[in-house]
Structure 1
Amino acid sequence: MSLIIAYVGKKGCVMASDKRKIGYFGDKEKLAELEKDLYNGKIDNDEDFLSKANELGISIKITDDANKIKVIANTIRGEVSTKGTFETRRRRIYGTTNGYQIVELLGSETESRKAGKSGVIIFGNEYAKRMAETLIQRKWKASQSLRYMGDIFESIILEVASKTPTVGNKVDVLMQQPKFSESDAQKHLNMTIDHDIKVLIKFRQDLTEKLVQQNLDIEMANKIIDKGEVGKVVNVDGNMLYVQLNDKTQAVDGNWKQLAAPGQNVLMFTESDNVKIGDKVIIENEDLCLKKDKSSLKCDIILCSL
């Protein structure tokens, strides 16, 4: 659902892309039918696209704010991606003066990496690419400046967008003109791409850790006890009580680290002067208290079920 057009040569690199992003939700077979009509050019505007999706029972979210191209260290990177069930597949072009590389990634693993010196490169679905190629052949002149090439690429993307909803009508254009020989260009690209992939790996690792933590938070939050007996008083020292947890209760801290297992003692505080060894401790209406008279207790731990 993208269209990226790049020129790489002696003058530098210019790259243009649309900003469209489309999210789907619905039956896989119906979705395949919708995509078939899209890529065959049977749907040529957003209204018909939404109407056809509604007819098939497919929910769609269309946005035109995705940043598909960016400048990284005198290099322009363009990316199209497809989210699978378990991994995201990325296809990237990195372009600078006198050189480019096309990188295929699955997750953060490099599947292929190809280098070139110059040319016009197009990323997109086959239907959009065919239209763009025809328009480039009609409008292209090698003697044009990079800025003028960028204007041409923008006009091509807008024309394609008017004929297929797979491409949006908002366009980004970026240009870089560092002074690199062909060999220097590839050396610079190698360093830039290696670093960029390391950044992606770190991002994915951080994201995985966050997701794991979120899942743990949800799991443990569901175990927080808000009702029932949790233990009994085994020692009284002024306003401090030592409470032995029952066989279904554990104590954890704010990071869900276990502080006390079932059968172990935890410290609680009371303002009552009528606490006896053996008194039951309960949680009632989410309040920690003694069972016999509902006098309030306090502690700095979280009580959870196993």
Structure 2
Amino acid sequence: MSLIIAYIGKKGCVMASDKRKIGYFGDKQNLKTLEEELYSGAIDNDEDFLNRASELGISIKITDDANKLKVVGNTIRGEVSTKGTFETRRRRIYGTTNGYQIIELLGSETESRKAGEKGIVIFGNVYAKQLAEPLIKRKVKASQSLRYMGEVFESILAEVASKTPTVGDKFDVLMQQPVFSVSEAQKHLNITIDNDIKVLTKFRQELTEQLVQQSLAIDMASKIISKGDVGRVVSIDGNMLHVQLNDKTQAMDGNWKQLAAPGQNVLMFTESDNVKIGDKVVIENEDLCLKKDKSSLKCDIILCSL
């Protein structure tokens, strides 16, 4: 759902991109039908796209706020991505003066890497590229300044957007003009890209850890004890009680790390002066208390079932 046009030459690099992003939800076969019509050019505007999706029972969400271009070091990075069941496939172009590289990524793993010196590179779906290529041949001239070329690219994007919903009508244009020879450009690109992929790898690792933690939190939250026996008093020191957990109860901290396993002791506090060794500790109506007289107890732990 993208169209990115990049020029790389001895003057520098300029890229232009739309900002469209489309989310789908519905029957797979009907979705396939909708995509075939969309990419064949049978649907040529947003209204018809929404109507056809409705006819097929497909829910879609169209937004025009995706940032597909980014300045990284002295290069511009353009990216189109496709989310699969388990991984996101990314296709990136990094461009600077006198050089560019095209990278294929699955997750954060590099599947292919190709280098070039100069030219015009187009990323996008087949139909959008078919619309853009003749416009580029007609409108772009090598003698044009980078700034003017960026304006031409933007006009091409606008014309393509008027003929297919796969390209939005809002655009970004970025330009970089560092002084690099051909060999310097590739050295700079290698360093920049390697560092950028490391950032992606770290981001994915952190995201995975967050998802694991969220999954754990959901699982443990369902195990929080709201009713029943949790243990018995085994030691008393003023208002501090040592409570031995029963064989079905464990104590967790706020990050869902186990502080005490079944059979181990935890610290609780009481304001009652009528506590005896062996008194049972329970949770009733989500309140922690002594079973015998409902005296309130406090603790800094989360009591969960196994």
TM superposition score category, shorter chain reference: over 0.9
Distance 1:234 1:72 in 2: 62
Distance 2:184 2:241 in 1: 73
Equivalent in the alignment of 1:202? 202
Aligned-pair CA distance for 1:255: 2.0
Residue 294 of structure 1: SS of its match in structure 2? coil
1:153-232 paired onto structure 2 within 5 Å = 153-232=153-232
Distance 1:293 1:189 in 2: 73
- Larger deviation: 292-301 or 2-11? 292-301
Moved over 4 A (4+): none
- How big is each residue's C-alpha offset from its partner over 1:142-198, in whole Å with a ceiling of 9 and x where there is no partner? 211111110110000011011111000000001111111111111111111111111
Aligned-pair CA distance for 1:261: 1.4
- How big is each residue's C-alpha offset from its partner over 1:113-150, in whole Å with a ceiling of 9 and x where there is no partner? 11111111100000000100011112122211111110
Equivalent in the alignment of 2:278? 278
One-letter amino acid of the counterpart of residue 229, structure 2: E
Equivalent in the alignment of 2:62? 62
One-letter amino acid of the counterpart of residue 152, structure 1: V
1:131-146 paired onto structure 2 within 5 Å = 131-146=131-146
Residue 214 of structure 1: SS of its match in structure 2? helix
- The answer to whether residue 73 in structure 2 is matched with residue 78 in structure 1 is no
Unaligned runs of 5+ in 1: none
Identity %: 83
One-letter amino acid of the counterpart of residue 67, structure 1: N
Aligned-pair CA distance for 1:241: 1.8
User: Normalization by structure 1: what TM-score?
Assistant: 0.98
Indicate the RMSD between aligned Cα atoms, in angstroms. 1.0
- How big is each residue's C-alpha offset from its partner over 1:89-120, in whole Å with a ceiling of 9 and x where there is no partner? 00001111111111111111111111111111
Distance 1:59 1:135 in 2: 33
Distance 1:241 1:188 in 2: 64
Equivalent in the alignment of 2:294? 294
1:4-23 paired onto structure 2 within 5 Å = 4-23=4-23
Aligned-pair CA distance for 1:264: 1.8
Aligned-pair CA distance for 1:267: 1.7
Aligned-pair CA distance for 1:20: 0.4
One-letter amino acid of the counterpart of residue 68, structure 1: K
Equivalent in the alignment of 2:243? 243
One-letter amino acid of the counterpart of residue 42, structure 1: A
Distance 2:237 2:12 in 1: 79
Distance 2:236 2:207 in 1: 47
Equivalent in the alignment of 1:103? 103
Distance 1:25 1:16 in 2: 29
Residue 127 of structure 1: SS of its match in structure 2? helix
Distance 1:117 1:46 in 2: 38
Corresponding pairs, count: 306
Equivalent in the alignment of 2:304? 304
Residue 250 of structure 2: SS of its match in structure 1? strand
Unaligned runs of 5+ in 2: none
One-letter amino acid of the counterpart of residue 301, structure 1: I
Distance 2:29 2:101 in 1: 36
One-letter amino acid of the counterpart of residue 290, structure 2: L
Aligned-pair CA distance for 1:31: 0.9
Distance 2:219 2:30 in 1: 34
Equivalent in the alignment of 2:127? 127
- The answer to whether residue 27 in structure 2 is matched with residue 27 in structure 1 is yes
Distance 1:26 1:79 in 2: 26
One-letter amino acid of the counterpart of residue 200, structure 2: L
Equivalent in the alignment of 2:261? 261
Distance 2:80 2:15 in 1: 13
Distance 2:140 2:241 in 1: 84
Aligned-pair CA distance for 1:43: 0.8
User: Normalization by structure 2: what TM-score?
Assistant: 0.98
Aligned-pair CA distance for 1:242: 2.0
Distance 2:240 2:118 in 1: 77
One-letter amino acid of the counterpart of residue 191, structure 2: M
